A and B are shown apart, each in its own frame.
Chain A
C-alpha cells in the first residue's frame, strides 16, 4: 500500500520486515459477494496496527482470518514467512482479546491465566510464577482467587489482556476489546493497553470502529470500507491528509464543500463551487482538472477572526446557532452554499457570535484538502 511513501516511521516499519503478510486475500461467505477484496497488508514486528472501519467493512473478518477462525477464500497469509493460511487457530500461538472478555466463568482469575500455560505443558511451578507476574502486570495481583463474575468490566478486561499475554505470544489480536466499557474507563484502558504494548514490544493488531481509539493508540491505522483498505498510514497522516472522501468523512468531523477543479498545481488545487466561490486547498491523490471534487475542512482548523487577510481562503458566513461545549464553542453557520457549516471557536472572545451576524471564515491552503468525489461503483 502506501507504506514507504510517507513519513519516516512508516519507512522504518517497512524495513523491519513483514512479520504478518496478507497476500491478495479474499473472503466470501455466500459465494456471491466478497466481504474482503484483494487485501494486501503488511504488519511489522512490534507494530500497533489498528483496523478501523464501519460495521460490515471487513475489518473483523480480516482479524478472524488472521486468528484462524475464518479461512480465506483466496490468497495467502504468512506469519514470519511461514504460510499459516490453513493452520488451525490453536497452533498459531496468537493471543486474542475479545469484546466480551470471554473469561471462563467456572474458573478463578488465576485458573483463567494458567489455562494457556497448562495446555502448553508448562511446569506447575513456572505457571504459578508467570501467572503472578501477569497479574502484577495489570495491577490486579490481589484478585487472583475471584471468579470473573465478581469483577468489574474494567478489571475483567485487564484479566483478559493478561491472559492473552501470559504465554508471551509474538502477536496479540484484539477484537473491539473496549467496546463494552463506559467512556471514561475506555479512555483509561486505551492508555493502559498502549503502555503495555510499548513495554512488552509485542505486535498488536487491533480492531475497532471507534476512530478516537484508533488515533490515540496506533502506530498505523488501516481504514476499511466495503472490504478494502481505503488508506493505511500513521494516525496523523490519516487525520490530516486523508486520501479519499470516505476516510475524511469517517475519521473526525469535517465540512464538505463540493465543486469543480478549476486549477491543479503541485500539491495544490483550486475548487470552484456552483456559486462560483473558488477555494484553494491541498490536493489529494486522483484529482483531475475539470473533474468533480470535494473540499474537506476540519472545524477546528477554521478561524472566525475578523479581517483575517493573512490566510488564502476567507468567505462570509452567517451564524445560525452556537452551542457551548465547555472547552470550545460550536458555531453553525450558513456559508459556501451550506447551512450546516461548523466551526469550532475558542470560548474567549466569542461574545460577538450571535445568530444572524455575518462573520468572516478563514483558513490556510494546508487546512483544506481537495479529494475526488467517488462515483458509486
Chain B
C-alpha cells in the first residue's frame, strides 16, 4: 500500500519537469492569444451590453429615471434631476455625450438635448416647475418615448444595441417589438453576408475540387508546379488582388474590352461594383484555403482504393462516387468551413469591388467603430456575427461530424 503511494508520488515528480517544459513552450503563444484574441472578444462582448455614457454625464437623471414605471406619470423629482443635469452638463460642455447617446434611440434626440441645453445655459433662474420649463422648451420632453429612451440609456447594462443589431427595439411599454421597416437594416445585411459567403464557398468548391484532384494525383514535379501556382495569390497583398479585379472587370476593363472586340457583346457588361464582382474577387482570394485541405486529404487516399473498386466490377465513375468521393469528405468539409467562416468576416474586398447593396456585416462594424464611434452597436453587430458563425459551425459539426474535418 505504502509502496503504491510512493510510486504515484515518484511518478508525479518525474513527470513534473516534462510538464513544466511543455508549459514553457506554449506560454508565449498562449499569452499572445490571450492578449490579441481572447481579450478583444471579451471586451467586445462587454461593450455590446454596457451602457454608462448617459449615467456618467447625467448621474441624477439616470438614478431618478430608474424608479419611473413606464405608463405611469413622471414624478416632478425626475424632471428636477433632468433639468439640473441638463444645465450642469451644458455648462461643463459634456452635454454632447448625452445628446449622442439619446440620438441612437430618439429620431431627434441630438437637437432636443442640445437646443434645451443651450436655452438653459443662457438662463440662470431656477424655475418653479422643471416639468413645465422643459416641456415649455420642447414638448418632446413630455412624451413617454423620451422617458423610455432615457430609462433605457440609464445603464449600467442595456439590450438596446443587441436588439438594434437584429432590427428590434423596446416600445414605450418596454416590450420587445420589430423595428419599422424603414429603420430595419441589419437582418437584411446578415442575410446578405450569409448568402454571399455561401455562394463564394460553393464556387470555390466547384472550381477547387477538380484542381485539387489534379494536383494530388499528378506526378511530383507537375504537382509541385501546380501547387506553386495555387499559392501564388498569397504572394501579393489582398488589397492589390482586389484592386486588380477593378482594372480587369470595369466597363472599360480588359475583360469587357475583349468581349466587345470578339463581338460577343455590344456594350460593356457590368461586372464590378455589384454582386458579381464581389463573388469573383472573393472566390479568387479564398480559393487557396479551399484547395489546400482538399489536396492534403486527396493525397492521403491511396490509388489502390480506386483500383480495388474497379477490380470488383464498378465502372470508374461509380467507383469515384462511391469509393473516392466519400473519402474526400474530411478535406472538403475543412475547406468549405474555412472559406465560409473567412468569407463571413470579409471587409476589404466587398468594400473595394462591391456596390452599396453588396456590403457585408463587417463593413458596418467598421463604419460604427471608425466613422461614428458607436462602439456599442459595432460590438453588438460583432456579437451577432460571432453568434451566427458559431451556430453554423455547430450545425455543421452535427451534420458532418467534427472528426470528419481534417486540415492536413
Contact = CB atoms under 8 A, between A and B. Distances in A.
B60 to A, nearest CB: 69
Interface residues of B, number: 20
Interface string A101-112: 011111000000
Contacts of A173: 311
Given A100-B302, A104-B305, A90 B311 contact: yes
B311 A67 contact: yes
Contacts of B146: none
A94 B311 CA distance: 7
Contact of B313 (A69, A90, A102, A103): A90
Given A105-B327, A106-B326, A106-B327, A119 B305 contact: no
B305 A115 contact: no
Contact of A115 (B307, B309, B326, B327): B309
A96 B307 CA distance: 9
B316 interface: yes
B206 interface: no
A116 B304 contact: no
A90 B310 contact: yes
B326 A102 contact: no
Question: Which label, helix, strand, loop or mixed, suits the secondary structure of the A interface?
Answer: loop
B308 A102 contact: yes
A90 B304 contact: no
B58 to A, nearest CB: 65
Given A102-B304, A104-B323, A115 B311 contact: no
Contacts of B304: 98, 100, 102
A88 B314 CA distance: 11
Contacts, number: 63
B313 A119 contact: yes
B322 interface: yes
B44 to A, nearest CB: 41
A356 interface: no
Contacts of B319: 90
A173 B312 CA distance: 11
Interface in B272-322: 302, 304-305, 307-316, 318-319, 322
A115 B314 CA distance: 8
Among B309, B318, B326, the most chain A Cβ lie within 10 Å of the Cβ of B309
Contacts of B307: 69, 89, 96, 98, 102
5 contacts: A88-B310, A98-B304, A115-B309, A164-B311, A167-B313
Given A88-B310, A90-B316, A115-B312, 14 more contacts: A69-B310, A89-B310, A90-B319, A95-B311, A95-B312, A96-B311, A98-B304, A102-B308, A104-B327, A106-B327, A115-B322, A116-B314, A119-B315, A164-B312
Interface of B: 302, 304-305, 307-316, 318-319, 322-323, 326-327, 329
